[in-house]
Structure 1
């Protein structure tokens, strides 16, 4: 597979993703899911052609990536919550 073939396939995927729309009054959920399935299938086939193997699934036995610790809540939010509680108690 040449670099031009890869570029053409990636361009096709980008164009398909640009055309993908959410359901609305003219598009049903079924057509949206079909379009999404086409994009997914094309992406997986391109991955297979580039790497020689299919992409791994989420449940293939590997541990999930480590989660980042939660950010601390700013003190301004604590003060705001206290003000709201005090107002609710007074009312």
Structure 2
């Protein structure tokens, strides 16, 4: 990994950390946890690329499991279905 690639990956990780927002009336706890886990995954992968082993794991073991994004709320799914149906009717 070149120094330039390392700088770009660290910058991307910093941008992800800057985007992280605590749960509030605009940000759900599920989205917060998903964003935090994404930052953790990127940091762990960067560590592995730099050192050759996963942090806190033996080198011969597989890496940590990927965190899946929580499902969308049903209200959001219903809204998407209504807007899709409206587009079909207009067409």
Normalised-by-shorter TM-score class: 0.5 to 0.7
Say how many residue pairs are matched.
57
User: Structure 2: 5+ residue runs without aligned partners?
Assistant: 58-91
**Secondary structure, counterpart of 1:53 in structure 2:** coil
Match in the other structure for 2:27: 27
Is 2:16 the partner of 1:16? yes
Measured after TM superposition, the shift of residue 53 of structure 1 is: 0.4
Match in the other structure for 2:64: none
Misfit runs of 4+, over 2 Å = none
Match in the other structure for 1:76: none
Q: TM-score, normalised by structure 1?
A: 0.61
Measured after TM superposition, the shift of residue 12 of structure 1 is: 0.3
Measured after TM superposition, the shift of residue 19 of structure 1 is: 0.7
Q: TM-score, normalised by structure 2?
A: 0.61
* Equivalence map 1:40-59=2 (5 Å): 40-56=40-56
User: Structure 1: 5+ residue runs without aligned partners?
Assistant: 58-91
Greater relative contact order (Cα < 8 A, sep 6+): 2
Measured after TM superposition, the shift of residue 35 of structure 1 is: 0.1
